[in-house]
Amino acid sequence: MEKERGVLNGMVSSVCRRGAWLAAIVALLAMPAALPAAVGVPSLEAQVRHELLMLPYYTVFDQLSFQVNGNTVVLTGQVTRPVLKSDAANVVKRITGVASVDNRIEVLPLSGVDNRIRLAELRAVYGNPALSRYNLGAIAPIRIIVRNGHVTLEGVVASTMDKNIAGLAANGVAGVFSVTNNLQVNS
């Protein structure tokens, strides 16, 4: 009889533990409003940045930036392909929490001369041994914008020396009218 009572007590405590687990799971499922905050849903800015960086035709020759004002996103920058302007607006519109998109992206004019300058600038800047560490990632940290022979460098570099080397390399390309070095130094 003692043996049977022990088995019965073990079964009762096992059922109680299962019941406690079940009650805990039901309590968690009953609080859906608290779960997203606990999981860490990315901010709207992080979602917009991610979507823009994932665009398939976004290259080193394009510069996209954005500003979030409440539930409105303002897109700015310069792109070499018209489809990139429309694709950027379309992917941002689909993000939950975005009510409207103000697309102020400029499409750079098509020019064979500008295309030649773009490739020469790419070789000059990213081919420079002092700047070789910047061509390792999938997303280029130094952006090369060419408009009618005028070059603008955008992005972030590690030091003032890297900023100056990139500016000198860009100035050394034949056929360039001017170079504006807007590179920011990461502090």
Tell me which of 172 and 140 has the higher pLDDT: 172
Tens digits of per-residue pLDDT, 155-179? 999 999 999 999 999 999 999 999 9
Tell me what pLDDT residue 35 has: 44
Domain ranges across the chain: 2-38, 42-107, 112-185
Q: What is the pTM of this model?
A: 0.75
CA distance 127 to 119: 11
Tell me what pLDDT residue 135 has: 86
* pLDDT, average across residues 25-33: 51
**Fold category of 42-107 in CATH:** GMP Synthetase; Chain A, domain 3 (3.30.300)
* pLDDT, average across residues 13-19: 49
Residue 54 has pLDDT above 50, yes or no: yes
Q: What is the CATH number of domain 112-185?
A: 3.30.1340
